[in-house]
Amino acid sequence: MPGALVSARDLVATQYADGAVMVALRDVTVTDSRSAGQGFRISLPTQPDAMSASRVAPLSLDAAPYWGMIGQNCFASLFRGVSHMDACYKLYKMYDDGIPSYDYWRLDWYATIFTASSYNTLYWGRIHADQDGGPTMSWVDWSLDQDYDGPCTTLGLSITVAGVGGGFSKTLCELQDISKNAGTTFGYFQDYWSWGDSIPQAGRDKALAMLLGTRTPQNTGWPVWGLSWDFALF
C-alpha cells in the first residue's frame, strides 16, 4: 500500500535475459508477457481488501451513491539500468447506487518512468488494462477520451458512471496515444507514451495514466483485471 513500510524480505527481484530487473512485492505474481506483446503483467485480486471490509452501511435508504475503494497498490518497479518505471492502481466499487441490474467498477491505473540519469533518454512507455476473468464487463466511460499531443500539462482524467463522477489529475507530456477495443464489451484500453513530433531529451521523467468505468451484471462476482506495463530507452 502507498505509504506503508516495506522491508527487503517483502520484495522479490527477478532479472530477465535482456537485463531488465523487476522488483515486486512478494505476494504479487508478475508474468513476462512481452512475447505476446503485453509487457510485464499482473492480475488484480478478485476480492476486496480490508479497506472495503471496514465499510460502514449507510444510515438511511436515501444515502447518496459513492465510490468505495476496494484495493490499491504500488506493487512493482521495473528497472532498465538506473532508469525505472513505478506502477500503481486504485480499484473502486460503487455503493448505494440503487440500481438493481448492475455492479459498477472504477479503475485508476497510472505509472511514472524515471530516467534517474541525465544521460538516459526514454524511447516509449505503455500501460495496458484488460480482463483476466470473472463476469463479463461492459464499458461505461473512460479517460483520456482522445489522444493528447502537446507540452507537459496537468490533465484532469474524469468519468461519470450511473450519475456519479470520479477522477484524478496527472502531468502528461508529448504524445499520449490511447487505444481501446471496439464494441460495448470491455476488452482492453492502452495509453502509449512517445515523443511524437517533439525532439527527444535526456533525463526527462514521464507519466502515463488511465481511468476506466465499467459494469457487470449484479451479484455475478468480482471482475479480474489484467494490468501490464513496460518501457524502453534509446
Q: Would you say residue 166 lies in a domain?
A: yes
Could you give the maximum distance between any two Cα atoms of the chain, in Å?
59
Q: Is residue 177 part of a domain?
A: yes
Predicted pLDDT of residue 63: 79
Identify which has the larger pLDDT, 8 or 115: 115
Nearest to 137 by CA among 216, 213, 224: 216
Q: How far apart are CA 200 and CA 181, in angstroms?
A: 30
Measure the CA–CA gap between 185 and 172, rounded to whole angstroms.
28
Q: Peptide bond preceding 5: is omega within 30 degrees of 0, i.e. cis?
A: no
Give the model's pLDDT for residue 59. Answer: 42
3 occurs within a structural domain: no
- How many alpha carbons lie under 13 Å from residue 228 in its C-beta half-sphere? 20
Q: Flag whether 2 is in a domain.
A: no
> How far apart, in whole angstroms, are the C-alpha atoms of residue 128 and residue 10?
26
Cα–Cα distance measured from residue 144 to residue 141, given in angstroms and rounded to the nearest whole number: 10
Place of cell 508477457: 33
- Quote the pLDDT of residue 9: 79
User: Is 221 inside a domain boundary?
Assistant: yes
Please indicate, yes or no, if residue 194 is contained in any of the structural domains.
yes
Q: Residue 186 class from Cβ within 10 Å (0-12 exposed, 13-18 middle, 19+ buried)?
A: buried
Residue 169 phi/psi, 5-degree rounding, is -120, 145
Please check whether residue 1 lies inside any domain of the structure. no
- Domain of 222 in residue numbering reads as 8-53+64-233
**If you average pLDDT over every residue of the chain, what do you get?**
91
The pLDDT assigned to 4 comes to 47
One-letter identity of residue 133: G
Of the ranges 45-49, 95-99, 201-205, which one carries the lowest mean pLDDT score? 45-49
Asked if residue 1 has pLDDT above 50, the reply is no
CB contact set of 26 (below 8 Å; sequence gap of 6+) = 9, 10, 11, 12
pLDDT, tens digit, 9 for 90 and up, residues 36-69: 888 999 998 766 544 444 444 444 456 799 999 9
**Residues 6 or more apart whose Cβ sits within 8 Å of residue 124:** 192, 193, 194, 231, 232
Distance in angstroms (rounded) separating the CA atoms of residues 92 and 52: 9
Which pLDDT value is given to residue 48? 57
What is the rounded CA–CA span in Å between residue 181 and residue 208?
19
Distance (Å) of CA 153 to CA 19, 111, 179 = 33, 16, 21
With residue 161 as reference, give the H or E element that holds it.
strand 148-161
Task: Say which residue the cell 512475447 belongs to.
Answer: 35
Is residue 58 in a domain?
Answer: no
Determine the Cα–Cα distance for residues 79 and 71; give it in Å rounded to an integer.
25
Question: Total structural domains in the chain?
Answer: 1
